[in-house]
Amino acid sequence: MQGLLRLSRAIDWLNAQVGKAVIWLIMASTAISALNALVRYIFNTSSNAFLEVQWYLFAWSFLVAAGFTLLNREHVRIDVLNSRLPKKAQIWIDIVGFALFLTPVCLVVLYYTVPMTMQKFASGEMSGNPGGLIRWPVWLALPVGFTLLLLQGWSELIKRIAFLTGDGPDPTVKPGEKTAEEELAEVLRQRTDAEAQNANAAATAPQAR
């Protein structure tokens, strides 16, 4: 299990670095969009290459950051029932989801997109728009993104199994976020401090008179 946890930490580190790099893709897309608007306004000219490179950068930032999003538990979740279940039940639901849903979906996508991307690369297919770009770089975002998502899904699966076996912390708690037990302990501590302050104030009141 310790070897699997080391693998999980390596995958987490990889997707964390990818998440940091995606910020620059978004910044580049924004800068190109602004530059394209200025050129079109000032010189009354433009190129489809400007538009397509924005689409490419957006596709890359959206797809390759999927694993980073899963790492930080930022995907949309409907927890109407799940949040009311015991912690172990929630963990088991996640395990089933990662093993029987996320993993097969990612493998199917990779099965189809890897050969398609290789075909686009070999053929050198270009955009049908005038001044458009070569197509394979944007297709490459699909296998790369789903590979990172698949790896992160396996990392989350490892962490949940480790939690059930007592070899790891609660993986459903975000970094820096307090567990329900810690929040309860904090409330009780604050209540105890308030009661102690009230008792001290009551004790010192007669002396003041």
pLDDT (tens digit per residue) in 121-144:
888 888 777 777 888 888 999 999
Same domain, 163 and 80: yes
Show Cβ contacts of residue 146 under 8 Å, excluding neighbours closer than 6 positions. Answer: 63, 66, 106, 109, 110, 113
Same domain, 119 and 184: no
Domain that holds residue 192: 178-209
- Highest-pLDDT range among 21-35, 106-120, 176-190: 106-120
Same domain, 27 and 122: yes
Same domain, 149 and 198: no
If one counts the domains in the chain, the total is 2
Q: Which pLDDT value is given to residue 12?
A: 87
Same domain, 64 and 109: yes
Same domain, 102 and 197: no
Same domain, 14 and 87: yes
Same domain, 200 and 146: no
Is residue 179 predicted with pLDDT exceeding 60? no
Same domain, 161 and 195: no
Structure confidence by residue, pLDDT tens digits, 87-115: 888 888 888 989 999 999 999 999 999 99
Same domain, 69 and 149: yes
Same domain, 86 and 23: yes
Same domain, 106 and 190: no
Over residues 80-85, the mean pLDDT reads: 73
